[in-house]
Amino acid sequence: MLTEVNIMLTERQLLLLQVIIDDFIDTAHPVGSRVLAKKGTIPFSAATIRNEMADLEELGFLEKMHSSSGRIPSEKGYRYYVDHLIKPVSHNMHHGIVSKLVQEGIYEFEQIVQMSAEILSELTSYTAIILGPEIFETQLKQLQIVPLSTETAVAILITNTGHVEHRMISLPEAINASDLEKLVNIINQKLVGIPIVKLQNIFYTEMADIMKRYLDDYEKSLSYLKAIFLTDYPVKVYVSGTSNMLMQPEFNDIDKVRSFYTLMDREEELIKLLKDSTPGIEVTIGNENEVEAIKDFSLITSSLRHEEEQVGTIALLGPKRMEYRKVISLLKGLSNEMTNTLYMWYKDKE
Protein backbone atom coordinates (compact mmCIF):
# COMPACT_ATOMS: atom_id res chain seq x y z
CA MET A 1 0.00 0.00 0.00
CA LEU A 2 2.66 2.40 1.06
CA THR A 3 4.93 1.58 -1.85
CA GLU A 4 2.06 1.64 -4.27
CA VAL A 5 1.55 5.28 -3.49
CA ASN A 6 5.24 6.00 -3.49
CA ILE A 7 5.65 4.72 -7.01
CA MET A 8 3.31 7.38 -8.21
CA LEU A 9 5.06 10.32 -6.63
CA THR A 10 8.44 11.57 -7.74
CA GLU A 11 10.96 12.89 -5.26
CA ARG A 12 10.18 16.40 -6.38
CA GLN A 13 6.48 15.90 -5.91
CA LEU A 14 7.05 14.61 -2.42
CA LEU A 15 9.14 17.63 -1.57
CA LEU A 16 6.58 19.94 -3.07
CA LEU A 17 3.69 18.36 -1.24
CA GLN A 18 5.58 18.61 2.01
CA VAL A 19 6.48 22.25 1.51
CA ILE A 20 2.99 23.21 0.41
CA ILE A 21 1.32 21.57 3.37
CA ASP A 22 3.86 22.97 5.81
CA ASP A 23 3.29 26.40 4.39
CA PHE A 24 -0.47 26.16 4.46
CA ILE A 25 -0.46 24.86 8.02
CA ASP A 26 1.66 27.82 8.91
CA THR A 27 -0.16 30.62 7.16
CA ALA A 28 -3.67 29.36 6.38
CA HIS A 29 -3.33 31.00 2.97
CA PRO A 30 -3.58 29.03 -0.26
CA VAL A 31 -0.06 28.69 -1.56
CA GLY A 32 0.80 29.74 -5.08
CA SER A 33 3.62 28.79 -7.37
CA ARG A 34 5.21 32.23 -7.48
CA VAL A 35 5.66 32.62 -3.74
CA LEU A 36 6.91 29.09 -3.45
CA ALA A 37 9.54 29.62 -6.10
CA LYS A 38 10.72 32.85 -4.52
CA LYS A 39 11.22 31.14 -1.15
CA GLY A 40 14.00 29.08 -2.63
CA THR A 41 13.13 25.84 -0.91
CA ILE A 42 12.53 24.35 -4.33
CA PRO A 43 15.18 24.91 -6.99
CA PHE A 44 12.76 25.23 -9.86
CA SER A 45 10.88 27.98 -11.52
CA ALA A 46 7.30 28.93 -10.83
CA ALA A 47 6.21 27.41 -14.11
CA THR A 48 7.64 24.03 -13.25
CA ILE A 49 6.05 24.18 -9.85
CA ARG A 50 2.76 24.99 -11.50
CA ASN A 51 3.01 21.90 -13.64
CA GLU A 52 3.78 19.69 -10.68
CA MET A 53 0.98 21.26 -8.73
CA ALA A 54 -1.45 20.47 -11.48
CA ASP A 55 -0.28 16.86 -11.36
CA LEU A 56 -0.61 16.67 -7.59
CA GLU A 57 -4.10 18.09 -7.90
CA GLU A 58 -4.96 15.49 -10.47
CA LEU A 59 -3.72 12.81 -8.09
CA GLY A 60 -6.01 14.18 -5.40
CA PHE A 61 -3.45 15.54 -2.97
CA LEU A 62 -4.16 19.21 -3.57
CA GLU A 63 -7.20 21.33 -4.18
CA LYS A 64 -8.09 24.81 -5.28
CA MET A 65 -10.60 27.02 -3.56
CA HIS A 66 -11.52 28.56 -6.89
CA SER A 67 -10.08 28.50 -10.35
CA SER A 68 -7.46 31.15 -9.78
CA SER A 69 -6.47 30.60 -6.20
CA GLY A 70 -3.39 28.91 -4.89
CA ARG A 71 -3.44 25.29 -3.79
CA ILE A 72 -4.51 23.92 -0.45
CA PRO A 73 -4.05 20.36 0.76
CA SER A 74 -6.94 17.97 0.28
CA GLU A 75 -7.83 15.51 3.00
CA LYS A 76 -6.00 12.85 1.04
CA GLY A 77 -3.06 15.23 1.06
CA TYR A 78 -3.14 15.64 4.79
CA ARG A 79 -3.49 11.91 5.23
CA TYR A 80 -0.43 11.28 3.12
CA TYR A 81 1.43 14.00 4.98
CA VAL A 82 0.61 12.48 8.35
CA ASP A 83 1.35 8.93 7.28
CA HIS A 84 4.51 9.42 5.27
CA LEU A 85 5.84 12.93 5.33
CA ILE A 86 6.18 13.65 9.02
CA LYS A 87 9.54 12.61 10.22
CA PRO A 88 9.11 10.70 13.47
CA VAL A 89 10.35 13.31 15.89
CA SER A 90 12.27 11.91 18.80
CA HIS A 91 9.82 12.46 21.58
CA ASN A 92 12.23 11.87 24.37
CA MET A 93 12.44 15.64 24.32
CA HIS A 94 9.15 15.53 26.19
CA HIS A 95 8.31 18.42 28.38
CA GLY A 96 7.97 16.62 31.66
CA ILE A 97 4.46 17.88 32.11
CA VAL A 98 3.40 15.00 34.27
CA SER A 99 6.44 14.89 36.45
CA LYS A 100 6.05 18.58 37.05
CA LEU A 101 2.49 18.07 38.18
CA VAL A 102 3.45 15.18 40.42
CA GLN A 103 6.11 17.31 41.99
CA GLU A 104 3.42 19.79 42.84
CA GLY A 105 1.79 17.09 44.90
CA ILE A 106 -0.96 16.05 42.55
CA TYR A 107 -1.56 12.36 42.71
CA GLU A 108 -5.05 12.09 41.40
CA PHE A 109 -4.70 10.53 38.02
CA GLU A 110 -7.81 12.00 36.53
CA GLN A 111 -6.71 15.39 37.73
CA ILE A 112 -3.34 14.96 36.11
CA VAL A 113 -4.98 14.06 32.86
CA GLN A 114 -7.14 17.14 33.11
CA MET A 115 -4.33 19.51 33.88
CA SER A 116 -2.14 18.03 31.21
CA ALA A 117 -4.90 18.60 28.75
CA GLU A 118 -5.15 22.20 29.78
CA ILE A 119 -1.44 22.65 29.31
CA LEU A 120 -1.65 20.88 25.99
CA SER A 121 -4.39 23.11 24.72
CA GLU A 122 -2.44 26.12 25.87
CA LEU A 123 0.67 24.87 24.10
CA THR A 124 -1.04 24.14 20.84
CA SER A 125 -3.92 26.62 20.69
CA TYR A 126 -6.27 23.80 19.93
CA THR A 127 -9.07 22.37 22.01
CA ALA A 128 -8.37 19.49 24.34
CA ILE A 129 -11.06 16.97 25.08
CA ILE A 130 -10.57 14.49 27.86
CA LEU A 131 -12.48 11.35 28.62
CA GLY A 132 -12.42 9.91 32.10
CA PRO A 133 -11.90 6.21 32.68
CA GLU A 134 -14.51 3.61 31.91
CA ILE A 135 -15.24 2.78 35.47
CA PHE A 136 -17.05 -0.40 34.60
CA GLU A 137 -13.85 -2.05 33.57
CA THR A 138 -12.06 -1.31 36.81
CA GLN A 139 -12.32 -3.37 39.94
CA LEU A 140 -13.99 -2.66 43.23
CA LYS A 141 -11.49 -1.77 45.89
CA GLN A 142 -13.80 -0.76 48.67
CA LEU A 143 -17.35 0.31 49.37
CA GLN A 144 -18.42 2.72 52.06
CA ILE A 145 -21.86 3.85 53.10
CA VAL A 146 -21.97 6.87 55.32
CA PRO A 147 -25.35 7.85 56.76
CA LEU A 148 -26.02 11.56 56.78
CA SER A 149 -29.46 11.65 58.28
CA THR A 150 -32.18 9.11 58.95
CA GLU A 151 -33.25 9.39 55.37
CA THR A 152 -30.09 9.94 53.37
CA ALA A 153 -26.67 8.41 53.08
CA VAL A 154 -23.77 8.72 50.75
CA ALA A 155 -22.35 5.63 49.14
CA ILE A 156 -18.72 5.72 48.11
CA LEU A 157 -17.18 3.32 45.71
CA ILE A 158 -13.44 3.12 45.30
CA THR A 159 -11.79 1.32 42.43
CA ASN A 160 -8.37 -0.24 42.18
CA THR A 161 -7.22 2.66 40.04
CA GLY A 162 -7.94 5.08 42.83
CA HIS A 163 -11.01 6.39 41.15
CA VAL A 164 -13.76 7.44 43.53
CA GLU A 165 -17.43 7.60 42.70
CA HIS A 166 -19.98 8.74 45.18
CA ARG A 167 -23.69 8.86 45.12
CA MET A 168 -26.35 9.99 47.50
CA ILE A 169 -28.96 7.40 48.27
CA SER A 170 -32.22 7.81 50.10
CA LEU A 171 -33.21 5.58 52.96
CA PRO A 172 -36.94 6.15 53.02
CA GLU A 173 -37.67 3.32 55.40
CA ALA A 174 -35.10 3.51 58.09
CA ILE A 175 -32.83 0.53 57.79
CA ASN A 176 -31.38 -1.19 60.78
CA ALA A 177 -28.02 0.48 61.38
CA SER A 178 -26.25 -2.74 62.16
CA ASP A 179 -27.72 -4.31 59.06
CA LEU A 180 -26.24 -1.54 56.98
CA GLU A 181 -22.89 -2.19 58.53
CA LYS A 182 -23.15 -5.90 57.97
CA LEU A 183 -24.12 -5.28 54.41
CA VAL A 184 -21.07 -3.18 53.76
CA ASN A 185 -18.88 -5.74 55.41
CA ILE A 186 -20.23 -8.55 53.34
CA ILE A 187 -19.68 -6.64 50.18
CA ASN A 188 -16.16 -5.71 51.06
CA GLN A 189 -15.34 -9.26 51.98
CA LYS A 190 -16.82 -10.88 48.96
CA LEU A 191 -16.67 -8.40 46.14
CA VAL A 192 -13.34 -6.67 46.35
CA GLY A 193 -11.37 -7.26 43.19
CA ILE A 194 -14.40 -7.89 41.03
CA PRO A 195 -14.81 -5.67 37.99
CA ILE A 196 -17.63 -3.23 38.57
CA VAL A 197 -19.37 -4.35 35.44
CA LYS A 198 -19.82 -7.86 36.77
CA LEU A 199 -21.21 -6.84 40.12
CA GLN A 200 -24.85 -6.82 39.18
CA ASN A 201 -24.83 -10.39 37.98
CA ILE A 202 -23.19 -11.55 41.15
CA PHE A 203 -25.88 -9.93 43.25
CA TYR A 204 -28.54 -12.08 41.81
CA THR A 205 -26.56 -15.28 42.06
CA GLU A 206 -23.82 -15.77 44.61
CA MET A 207 -24.62 -12.87 46.87
CA ALA A 208 -28.27 -13.64 47.34
CA ASP A 209 -27.67 -16.60 49.64
CA ILE A 210 -25.16 -14.88 51.81
CA MET A 211 -27.26 -11.80 52.18
CA LYS A 212 -30.36 -13.76 53.07
CA ARG A 213 -28.47 -15.58 55.74
CA TYR A 214 -26.95 -12.58 57.46
CA LEU A 215 -29.37 -9.78 56.99
CA ASP A 216 -32.74 -9.19 58.59
CA ASP A 217 -34.20 -7.57 55.58
CA TYR A 218 -32.66 -8.91 52.45
CA GLU A 219 -35.10 -7.29 50.06
CA LYS A 220 -34.57 -3.83 51.40
CA SER A 221 -30.83 -4.12 51.35
CA LEU A 222 -30.89 -5.24 47.79
CA SER A 223 -32.80 -2.17 46.74
CA TYR A 224 -30.14 0.11 48.20
CA LEU A 225 -27.43 -1.76 46.44
CA LYS A 226 -29.25 -1.39 43.19
CA ALA A 227 -29.15 2.34 43.64
CA ILE A 228 -25.41 2.13 44.03
CA PHE A 229 -24.29 -0.45 41.57
CA LEU A 230 -26.85 -0.56 38.87
CA THR A 231 -26.93 3.07 37.96
CA ASP A 232 -24.76 4.48 35.28
CA TYR A 233 -21.57 6.12 36.29
CA PRO A 234 -21.33 8.16 33.19
CA VAL A 235 -17.97 8.73 31.64
CA LYS A 236 -16.84 12.22 32.40
CA VAL A 237 -15.84 14.62 29.69
CA TYR A 238 -13.71 17.69 30.14
CA VAL A 239 -13.15 20.28 27.50
CA SER A 240 -10.48 22.87 27.72
CA GLY A 241 -9.16 25.68 25.60
CA THR A 242 -12.09 26.18 23.31
CA SER A 243 -11.42 29.89 23.20
CA ASN A 244 -7.93 29.26 21.87
CA MET A 245 -9.52 27.92 18.76
CA LEU A 246 -11.29 31.18 18.11
CA MET A 247 -7.94 32.70 17.30
CA GLN A 248 -7.60 30.38 14.34
CA PRO A 249 -8.42 32.23 11.14
CA GLU A 250 -10.89 29.57 10.05
CA PHE A 251 -13.11 30.73 12.87
CA ASN A 252 -13.84 34.10 11.37
CA ASP A 253 -17.00 32.52 10.09
CA ILE A 254 -19.59 32.90 12.80
CA ASP A 255 -21.52 29.88 11.65
CA LYS A 256 -18.51 27.67 12.08
CA VAL A 257 -18.17 29.00 15.59
CA ARG A 258 -21.77 28.21 16.31
CA SER A 259 -21.60 24.66 15.07
CA PHE A 260 -18.34 24.12 16.89
CA TYR A 261 -19.71 25.22 20.22
CA THR A 262 -22.94 23.40 19.71
CA LEU A 263 -20.87 20.26 19.42
CA MET A 264 -18.83 21.12 22.49
CA ASP A 265 -22.03 21.44 24.49
CA ARG A 266 -23.22 17.98 23.56
CA GLU A 267 -21.46 15.61 25.86
CA GLU A 268 -22.86 12.51 24.28
CA GLU A 269 -21.40 13.47 20.94
CA LEU A 270 -18.01 14.03 22.45
CA ILE A 271 -18.11 10.70 24.20
CA LYS A 272 -19.08 9.03 20.95
CA LEU A 273 -16.15 10.76 19.34
CA LEU A 274 -13.56 9.45 21.73
CA LYS A 275 -15.00 6.28 23.16
CA ASP A 276 -13.87 3.57 20.86
CA SER A 277 -10.36 4.77 20.39
CA THR A 278 -7.70 2.18 19.89
CA PRO A 279 -4.54 2.20 21.99
CA GLY A 280 -1.88 4.64 20.88
CA ILE A 281 -2.11 7.78 18.84
CA GLU A 282 -4.81 8.05 16.25
CA VAL A 283 -5.28 10.82 13.71
CA THR A 284 -8.63 11.44 12.09
CA ILE A 285 -8.86 14.03 9.37
CA GLY A 286 -12.04 15.80 8.36
CA ASN A 287 -14.56 13.51 6.75
CA GLU A 288 -12.70 10.47 7.96
CA ASN A 289 -14.62 11.15 11.10
CA GLU A 290 -18.07 9.74 11.33
CA VAL A 291 -19.41 12.56 13.50
CA GLU A 292 -20.95 15.04 11.12
CA ALA A 293 -20.22 18.13 13.15
CA ILE A 294 -16.46 17.89 12.93
CA LYS A 295 -16.11 17.14 9.29
CA ASP A 296 -13.86 20.10 8.85
CA PHE A 297 -11.74 19.46 11.86
CA SER A 298 -9.01 17.04 12.64
CA LEU A 299 -8.90 15.01 15.78
CA ILE A 300 -5.88 13.43 17.37
CA THR A 301 -6.59 11.01 20.17
CA SER A 302 -4.32 9.31 22.59
CA SER A 303 -5.80 6.55 24.63
CA LEU A 304 -4.11 6.02 27.97
CA ARG A 305 -3.96 2.47 29.15
CA HIS A 306 -2.74 0.65 32.16
CA GLU A 307 -2.58 -3.10 31.93
CA GLU A 308 -5.17 -3.33 29.21
CA GLU A 309 -7.58 -1.02 31.00
CA GLN A 310 -8.43 2.24 29.37
CA VAL A 311 -7.87 4.79 32.10
CA GLY A 312 -8.49 7.90 30.08
CA THR A 313 -8.34 9.48 26.67
CA ILE A 314 -6.82 12.78 25.68
CA ALA A 315 -7.72 14.28 22.36
CA LEU A 316 -6.84 17.46 20.57
CA LEU A 317 -9.35 18.94 18.19
CA GLY A 318 -8.19 21.52 15.72
CA PRO A 319 -8.67 22.69 12.18
CA LYS A 320 -7.68 20.25 9.45
CA ARG A 321 -4.77 22.63 9.00
CA MET A 322 -3.34 21.37 12.24
CA GLU A 323 0.28 21.29 13.29
CA TYR A 324 0.31 17.53 13.13
CA ARG A 325 4.03 17.23 13.68
CA LYS A 326 3.99 19.18 16.91
CA VAL A 327 0.76 17.75 18.26
CA ILE A 328 1.67 14.16 17.58
CA SER A 329 5.03 14.44 19.21
CA LEU A 330 3.57 16.22 22.21
CA LEU A 331 0.89 13.61 22.66
CA LYS A 332 3.32 10.77 22.26
CA GLY A 333 5.57 12.22 24.90
CA LEU A 334 2.72 12.82 27.27
CA SER A 335 1.36 9.35 26.75
CA ASN A 336 4.67 7.79 27.59
CA GLU A 337 5.03 9.87 30.67
CA MET A 338 1.59 8.94 31.88
CA THR A 339 1.99 5.29 31.22
CA ASN A 340 5.22 5.31 33.18
CA THR A 341 3.66 7.22 36.03
CA LEU A 342 0.76 4.83 36.18
CA TYR A 343 3.11 1.90 36.19
CA MET A 344 5.09 3.32 39.06
CA TRP A 345 2.04 4.05 41.14
CA TYR A 346 0.20 0.82 40.71
CA LYS A 347 2.93 -1.66 40.11
CA ASP A 348 2.02 -3.43 43.35
CA LYS A 349 -1.66 -2.80 43.42
CA GLU A 350 -2.79 -6.38 43.48
CB of 139 to a second copy, least distance (A): 11
Is 166 a residue that touches a second copy (CB under 8 A)? yes
Q: Of these, 10, 27, 41, 108, which contacts a second copy (CB under 8 A)?
A: 108
CB of 166 to a second copy, least distance (A): 4
Is 164 a residue that touches a second copy (CB under 8 A)? yes
Q: Of these, 29, 154, 201, 208, which contacts a second copy (CB under 8 A)?
A: 154
Contact track, DNA, 9-38, x by CB under 7 A: --------------------xxxxxxx---
Q: Of these, 5, 14, 89, 156, which contacts a second copy (CB under 8 A)?
A: 156
Is 256 a residue that touches DNA (CB under 7 A)? no
Nearer to DNA, 68 or 189 (CB): 68
Partner touching 154 among a second copy, DNA, none, CB below 5 to 8 Å by kind: a second copy
Check if the beta carbon of residue 339 is closer than 8 Å to that of residue 97.
no
Distances (CA, A) of 89 to 17, 121, 217: 19, 20, 63
CA dihedral 332, 337, 342, 343 (to 10 degrees): 100
Is 44 a residue that touches DNA (CB under 7 A)? yes
Size of the site for a second copy (CB under 8 A): 47
Q: Of these, 242, 248, 289, 339, which contacts a second copy (CB under 8 A)?
A: 242
Partner touching 251 among DNA, a second copy, none, CB below 5 to 8 Å by kind: a second copy
Partner touching 57 among DNA, a second copy, none, CB below 5 to 8 Å by kind: DNA
Contact track, DNA, 186-205, x by CB under 7 A: --------------------
Task: Write out the residues near DNA by the rule CB under 7 A.
Answer: 29-35, 43-48, 50-51, 53-54, 57, 64-71
